[in-house]
């Protein structure tokens, strides 16, 4: 459209091509955004269900910012604690 005179209307084909370009661009952007959700799905599940999430599926590098020493061992201790497990079960029931 840059080559067109200001008073000249763009042709139907030009408008269609631009529209297709915008749609393709949007599809690519949405695909990229939603792929991030897929990557983080286990982490999000862990936040809601920390007592039942399997650590072999959990990407612990996403928790590096916490700077917790022996993070994996602490998570294992947490899942072994019946007190904490019961607390999370009660909290989820209260939320629902």
Residue 82 exposed, middle or buried by CB count within 10 Å (0-12, 13-18, 19+): exposed
Q: Has residue 55 been placed in a domain?
A: yes
Q: Has residue 17 been placed in a domain?
A: yes
Task: Specify the number of domains making up the chain.
Answer: 1
Q: Has residue 44 been placed in a domain?
A: yes
Q: Has residue 3 been placed in a domain?
A: no
- CA count, 13 A, side-chain hemisphere, 58: 20
Q: pTM score > 0.75 for this model?
A: no
pLDDT at 52: 80
Q: In terms of residue numbers, what domain contains 44?
A: 12-94
Q: Has residue 80 been placed in a domain?
A: yes
Confidence of residue 26 (pLDDT cuts 50, 70, 90): very high
Q: What is the pLDDT of residues 44-73, one digit of tens each?
A: 888 888 888 777 777 878 888 887 788 888
Q: Has residue 7 been placed in a domain?
A: no
Q: Has residue 70 been placed in a domain?
A: yes
3-state SS string for 62-75? HHHHHCCCCHHHHH
């Amino acid at each position: 459209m840059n080559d067109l005179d200001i008073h000249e209307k763009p042709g139907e084909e030009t408008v269609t091509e631009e529209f297709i370009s915008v749609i393709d661009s949007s599809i690519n952007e949405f695909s990229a955004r939603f792929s991030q959700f897929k990557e983080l799905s286990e982490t999000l599940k862990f936040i809601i269900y920390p007592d039942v999430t399997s650590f072999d599926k959990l990407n612990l590098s996403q928790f590096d910012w916490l700077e917790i020493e022996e993070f994996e061992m602490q998570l294992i201790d947490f899942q072994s604690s019946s007190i904490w497990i019961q607390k999370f079960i009660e909290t989820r029931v209260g939320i629902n």
